[in-house]
Structure formats: structure tokens, C-alpha cells
Chains A and B, each alone.
Chain A
Amino acid sequence: KQEVTQIPAALSVPEGENLVLNCSFTDSAIYNLQWFRQDPGKGLTSLLLIQSSQREQTSGRLNASLDKSSGRSTLYIAASQPGDSATYLCAACFSGGYQKVTFGTGTKLQVIP
């Protein structure tokens, strides 16, 4: 079964700290992996999308990496700010089925001022 796991479920850090969020997946036959942000009571906002042929993507203070061989992706957030507080979800698009996007359960991040 193709699964996506995010550990820890919650993380609390002081403002200004650099941090890494983890995402692991069980099948290396992956087409792409996305990182989303979800604010309370809101939908998901796409942050970064990494194609299987890529190793990483960057947007501002965010950097996402993809290692298919180890089944891992990381989201690096530099110089964290209270406004970064949200739930971060990763979603992997696996081969073998049309639009088979599998979501992780998310990591709830709190950045303390």
C-alpha cells in the first residue's frame, strides 16, 4: 500500500529558528511531491512542487528536497516567523493510478514569538 507519513504530528519552535519538516513515502515510483500549508479553517495552499526528476525546489525561505531512493522529502524553513504557524502537509503522486495523490496527515507547526 502506498502511504505517506509525517512525523512529528506537532512541532513548536522559537522564532528565528531554522527547522526541517519530514515526509516519508513507501513507494519510490513517485511522479511528484507537493508541500502544502493549511491554516485553521482554510483550505490547502500549495507551497512547492517537486517533480521526480528534480532534487529540490526553493521559494523564498522555503526549500523542499526529494530523495526517491530513501523515500523521503524534507521542507526546510529558514528563520521561522510566527506567521509560519500552520499545518504543513505533503502529498505524493504515485504511479499506477490516475491522479493517485496520497496525502500525509500533516505536521502542526507553532512558532513562538
Chain B
Amino acid sequence: NAGVTQTPKFRVLKTGQSMTLLCAQDMNHEYMYWYRQDPGMGLRLIHYSVGEGTTAKGEVPDGYNVSRLKKQNFLLGLESAAPSQTSVYFCASSYAPGASSNQPQHFGDGTRLSIL
């Protein structure tokens, strides 16, 4: 079972460059999420999606864009990378909203992104 797969696993960018992080899930989950994890701050929600073609802002959306053109894929874009976006990015998916379900979120292994 692949579960949630994130690509790439590592990336180094220069300030101002752009890139896209890809998340793919094979569990037919409706809900997908992008988080960033920084030391001492826990995971923070960037954007999420409740289904194909839908996206919504999370806690820290500035500087990021997302797209969910296919149910299984959720893309996170950085249009003009900044050093403050150096972080570990995690994608997650779930069958139903966490607030109304006993189904946990499934996480990918993360993308370690450094912005110089």
C-alpha cells in the first residue's frame, strides 16, 4: 500500500524561484491537506481540499497556492520562494472530516525544503 506519496523528498531553492510539491494518495480519500512543520511550532495547516476541484485556506496560506484537479492529487505551489518558507512540508489525506469521523488522517513522509 503506497498510502500518501510526496515528491520530491528534498529540494534546495534560491530566493525568488518557484516550485511545485506533489502529493498523491491511493486511498480514494476526499479530503487532503498541506501542513508545514517548523521547530517549536508544531504542524500548521497551509491549505486543504474537501474534494476534487475545491481548495480552501488554512492557518498560514500566504505565499502558497494549491490545486486539486484530480481527486488523488493535491499540489502545493510556491510562486516566489522566500527563506521564511524553509520548512518540512507534509501532505495528509482522510476519508472524512476529522470533526465528524473516527477516521484518522494519513500522512506522507514529508518534503524538506530549503530556501537560500
Interface bits B90-108 vs A (CB < 8 Å: 1, else 0): 1010000111101111111
8 A Cβ contacts from A1-52 to B: 4, 31-32, 34, 36, 41-46, 49, 51
Of B40-48, B61-69, B71-79, which binds chain A?
A: B40-48
Confirm or deny: A88 has a beta carbon within 8 angstroms of a beta carbon on chain B: no
Chain A, residue nearest B91 (CB): A43
Task: Give the bracket for the number of chain B residues in contact with chain A.
Answer: 20 to 34
| One of A60-68, A69-77, A100-108 at the interface | A100-108
Tell me if A44 and B99 are in contact (CB < 8 A).
no
Q: Report the Cα distance A105→B44, complex, angstroms.
A: 10
Closest to B56 in A: A98
Q: A44-B90, A105-B41 are in contact. Are A98 and B97 (CB under 8 A)?
A: yes
In addition to A99-B45, A99-B97, A103-B42, 8 A-B residue pairs with Cβ atoms within 8 Å of each other are A32-B98, A49-B104, A99-B31, A99-B48, A99-B98, A101-B45, A103-B43, A105-B41
